[in-house]
Structure 1
Amino acid sequence: MRANLLILAGTTEATAFANAAADANLTGTVSFAGRVERPTRQPLPQRIGGFGGIEGLSEYLKAEQISHVIDATHPFAAQMSRNAVAACAQAEVPLIALTRAPWTAQSGDNWTHVPDIAGAVAALDQRASRVMLAVGRMHLAEFAPNPQHFYLLRLVDPPKDPPPFPDHNVLVSRGPFTEGDDRALMQEHGIKLVVSKNAGGTGAYAKIAAARALGLPVIMIDRPTLPERREAHSVAQVFDWLRHSGVDLGV
């Protein structure tokens, strides 16, 4: 079978798979939601923007004759992942999620688990502190009810609107970062508390390791619940799945 892949992207795993797919001379399209202004350059054709919900994605799969979907979106891109599962079932296109295992607390970690962004906002309803808020620019406005804190914001792109905090510092930078750099950053800004999504993987883990080294508490936002789906945790596992699906990988 000659494959025509749709790679739902936005992570380092997506880029790694796209590079491997291109090296294997596979045909496919890398799709970005459009939330990042400067997406990582890809070796396969790209599209940017939504599909129009489940129905729109299902129609796209049929119109483009997509043979397989690889969902390598961020673990918190829950709506896209839910839509992908439903659309692939509707269009009868096989899907696999290339995802990272979530972080788990280690000795020395001081985590408070919350189920979602709203839970993190509620957890910050406390006396003024100095907070590293690592939730991405899309959610900053939701933390406006807690203006008493200083917020350190590290973002991939500059915020489109001024952050809704009287006291904050914005750093525009793209990871991966090192534990040493993040430890120094937290010390420089006098950080007392870290708020983070449980993104998993290695690229964003430095701040978690730095918080542990400094004895800082972390408000950890747990991952959203997703529908049952086939998952892989490495590029090699996705290739094994494609091979077993009858895709000609030339080996």
Structure 2
Amino acid sequence: MSAEPHAGPHVLILGGTTEARRLAETLAAPEPAPPTPPFRVTSSLAGRVAAPVLPPGEVRIGGFGGPEGLAAWIATHRVTHLVDATHPFAERMSFNAARAAALSGVPLLALRRPGWTPGPGDDWTFAPDLDGAAALLPRLGAARVFLTTGRTGLHAFAHLTRPWFLVRSVDPPAGPVPPRLEVLLARGPFTLGDERELLSRHRIDLLVTKDSGGSATAPKLAAARAAGVPVLVVRRPPVPEGVPEAGTAAAAAAWLHEHAART
């Protein structure tokens, strides 16, 4: 359904994350009312989850057709501000956003929750990417691995025949997967008790995760620490050069209001 004409600034949020939804909620019902005009908010979701939790405002689902397609959509729908609030590991979409912003001339902000850092009692090994994690994994000698790097990245581990893998996802994985694999279909968030029980029940001796950051998926790290389970952490890719960052939805909203006030 098309929206009514809106004279204020139009923000396109490339979303799918908790932070993206919080930003849409903040802009949809700002308290107290800011001095800038109210925002028209459109959230774009990739459509990889069958039943996503929809944010307030307008929502579109599906790709744009690369950076040129995104730039064309921005121009057609009179977008004035672009926020890349995709997953910290959605590297291609972040590149497309930066290129589209350059093509269309709209300001771009990357909304990224802070990454995790190891604390006392943590036994972490870092890998540069999924392929690097798959290469390191055999050297760690694990037999039962809780693989939490996302169902779309399982192909990187598909050639590993020795470890038994446990994967948990909202939807079933597709494409190449490791031959010794068990899938748990579940939607988070999961509590510390949930994660400790899972590690114990499945006798997990290694946790593999991306540095997604945030509190929603952090209990698995605390559970691994408590159980003495080592963690293989995939480092997140950098934000495209020259793109400013905000670590919270509140900081992103402040950036948007500041930029909108200038125009």
- State the distance in 2 between where 1:181 and 1:12 align: 20
Instruction: Give yes or no for contact 2:13–2:84 (8 Å, CA) kept in 1.
Output: yes
Paired position in structure 2 for 1:85: 98
Shift of 1:47: 1.0
Which residue among 232, 248, 255 is the counterpart of 1:219?
232
Judging changes above 3 Å, is the alpha-carbon distance between structure 1 residues 128 and 200 closer, same or farther for their aligned structure 2 residues? closer
- State the distance in 1 between where 2:103 and 2:16 align: 24
Give RMSD over aligned pairs: 1.7
Shift of 1:246: 2.8
Shift of 1:35: 1.8
Q: 1:175-233: per-residue Cα shift (whole Å, max 9, x none)?
A: 22112210111000000000000000111111111111111111100011231311111
Secondary structure of 1:79 counterpart: helix
Counterpart code for 1:117: L
Matched, 1:124 2:145: no
Secondary structure of 1:125 counterpart: helix
Shift of 1:58: 1.1
Matched, 1:136 2:141: no
Matched, 1:4 2:13: no
Matched, 1:236 2:250: yes
> Percent of counterpart pairs with the same letter?
46
Which residue among 23, 30, 44 is the counterpart of 1:17?
23
> Normalising to structure 2: TM-score of the pair?
0.89
Paired position in structure 2 for 1:33: 46
Secondary structure of 1:74 counterpart: coil
Q: How many pairs are equivalent?
A: 247
Shift of 1:166: 3.6
What is the correspondence of 1:188-203 to structure 2 with a 5 Å cutoff?
A: 188-203=201-216
Paired position in structure 1 for 2:60: 47
Runs ≥4 in structure 1, deviation > 4 angstroms? none
Shift of 1:26: 2.7
Judging changes above 3 Å, is the alpha-carbon distance between structure 1 residues 168 and 21 closer, same or farther for their aligned structure 2 residues? same
Shift of 1:12: 0.5
- State the distance in 2 between where 1:225 and 1:236 align: 22
> Normalising to structure 1: TM-score of the pair?
0.93
Query: Structure 2, unaligned stretches of length 5 or more?
Result: 1-6, 31-37
Matched, 1:151 2:195: no
Counterpart code for 1:39: P
